[in-house]
Amino acid sequence: MDFEVIHSYIPLYTQAFLLTIKIGWIGIVIAVVIGIATAFLQHFKVPVLAQIASVYVEIFRNTPLLVQLFFIYFGLPKVGIMIPAETCGAAGLGLLGGSYMAEGFRSGLDAVSKSQTESALALGMTKVQLFRYVIFPEAFSLSVPAVVANVIFLLKETSVFSAISLMDLMFTAKDLIGLYYNTTEALFLLVIFYIIMLLPVSGLGSLIEKKTHLRTAGV
């Protein structure tokens, strides 16, 4: 392994890392918003919208992100809709992630016991107070493990962004290998930068899971 080559590649990987992080977290924020909205529509069985939400979840959970990106980036321009590569990446990740987040949040909402809601209403809480102080905190704490797992999953899915010409980590690695054939060095840095991206998220997620579990348990 040539460490001089590795040193010379680091600025390129740093630039690709920042782009990957930027698009990845924008996509994750979109996914959380879509996931919460979809979960509420399904949980509270809003007429028509609940059925649309269910169809959305099934479609996006059962198609690969790569196919979705190809459809958005290469397919939509055929009907006159041009989307920049970065926007396409964030939107694709957000739509895929939203379908997974929706299932996590919906499971949390479904797990809130009816006795809690009935007791809160019996104490004179309004529906707004019931949701704010009882349903949402409980559902959120129950959803945390699924949300953390989905965040890590979505960050790893950013590896397919290179297919739409985004100069992310994977694109940079493949480009350098193709140009200079320093495969070992390029792949070594690829692994290192993905660890740098994912390890803090995993650690923070475990800490949040522990704290929400203790809070739910009343410790």
Q: Residue 178: which CATH number?
A: 1.10.3720.10
Of 77-81, 95-99, 115-119, the one with minimum mean pLDDT is 115-119
How would you class 26 by CB atoms within 10 Å of its CB: exposed for 0-12, middle for 13-18, buried for 19 or more? middle
Q: Residue 170 corresponds to which tokens in the numbers above?
A: 């994977």
Helix or strand (DSSP H, E) at 52: helix 49-61
**Which residue range(s) make up the domain with 142?**
3-217
**pLDDT tens digits, one per residue of 160-219:** 998 888 889 999 999 999 888 888 999 999 999 999 999 999 888 888 877 776 555 554
Q: Express each pLDDT in 106-119 by its tens digit.
A: 888 888 777 777 77
Total number of domains in the chain: 1
